[in-house]
Structure 1
Amino acid sequence: MNYHRPGLDLAAAYRQACLAELQALKPGNVHVFADIGETKVADFAASAELSAPSIGRPGASVGARILGAIAATHRAIGWNTNLGIVLLCAPLAAAAEQGGVLRANLAVILAALDRQDAADAFEAIRLASPGGLGRADRHDVVAPPTVTLRQAMAEAVDRDRIARAYLSDFEDVFSTGLPALEAAQAAGLEGPWRTTALFMAFLSRFPDTHIARRFGPEQAEAVRARAAAIIETEPPGPASSATLLAFDAELKKGGLNPGTSADFTVATLFAAAIMRHPAATG
């Protein structure tokens, strides 16, 4: 197998993407400006460190990366801090090992997912016990899988944007996330503000499926529309701090956490880091 070239440290790139996301003001989500109740930034930072070795493990299958990352997190943290991030970043890491065109490699990786990948991912999901997961009529994670991981994701495609990514070859990362990151850079935004702009791009374009699972699609759409109105009036940047902090407080008061938008933010930062390396392209 053609592993990634020396110098492309996938574990380090993943860790940095996770930590960069925590440094950015992300309304409703966890960040250094405000924790959420008992949800602490330190737990998410620790989760990045704990899960990085499994995400970057050379030659590992997607399922093994997922299970290893979540098991390490679960042993130390004890609750779900990073399932969505891991589900998105594990296939990207596997694709990055091939060198060349990242999205083309990713399509191959996703098409080749097998039943063992599903078994490993199901076990990881059971460990993480994500909020709002519920039960499924078919391919429920409490039972041994009878299909591949991609086929299992197809069952949730209408209610979970991360599942949709497995069917669309990560369209949201490549068609929304990376262009938003490039636009933020072109606008002169730096560091955390570039990440805030990326997060707001996801939040304003798609109803967040973490919110939808907990509060229903109407509430998720209302948050999306509110985010779109905010960035249309006041694009993300230092001058928008007060507006975004007020939006942050508003969402947290209602318990509305756009976790899926945050997960895609990390995945996009990770993909961008991979593509900056000479061994990989878009």
Structure 2
Amino acid sequence: MISLKILCILTFFNSTAGFLCECSGFGLNCPDGCEAGSYCFSTWILRNGGLKEQGCKTTRADLLADRQCQTNRKGLVTCVCNTEKCNGQSFTIPSDISLTVPPTIKCFNGDLIENNFCFGHYCTYSGEVILNDFGDILPSSYPIYRGCADDEYNDDLNSVNVCTLSNSIITCKCNTPFCNRDPAFPIPLGNVLCFMSSSYTDSSTKALKYCRGHLCYKLPTDEDGKTSRGCLSVSDGAPEELKKSGTYRFFKYCNQDLCNGDFAENAMDLIKEDVENITKT
């Protein structure tokens, strides 16, 4: 059973499929293009039709179904496509696309004084919490960050009216006035057991802590050879794509117990030992 699990895990993290996209803007230097995990995109300034940015987008969401193009109050339009370098010079805003600018709302900006507000399409909330051994989410003494967002494109974890818990960080995004007083939606913890580590600490598998969520995640190994891992839980009513295995930006998500382990030469023995230890407790 352990050998089969390791095979599935290795297959998940080693399976990457992509294509090249044109890449420009914001000082990017990729003359040969960037490798897309899901889509290519282009962003234009609607006022003068000028091209602002081109690049790659990796997401678990199906953007072509109903989100091929999006716009915001700043006059930016972003569209996606999903073939080799499809965002080249000939790529334009489709003539049959209906562009709707989301309403602009007021949000708490920093503190809870309504006279201290900001404007945006969405309100944001983020803060650190304490998780105990019983799965309870408790407040911490760390500061809470509130503000506004005018995203150029909403996809996957940028979905609106969603709260997520990633390890001990709660992040929320909502679209009604002053909805960021507190976390806008409750977040039930998922039941998938995950390794949890930070790139700021020793990332040897035997030394990792554990957490539970709807998904496990793993980030690329940094220049010091360390890897961040953890778990992600999402609020009720969130899009189902947020609970799917796959890749989002630099995150790789999977939905089996301990699927975000470290695949060293002796990874099978390490994970088997950890599973046995957890079973005994």
Q: Do both share a fold (TM > 0.5)?
A: no
Q: TM-score, normalised by structure 2?
A: 0.27
Query: Which is greater in Rg?
Result: 2
Which structure has more relative contact order (CA 8 Å, sep 6+)? It is: 1
TM normalised by structure 1 equals: 0.27
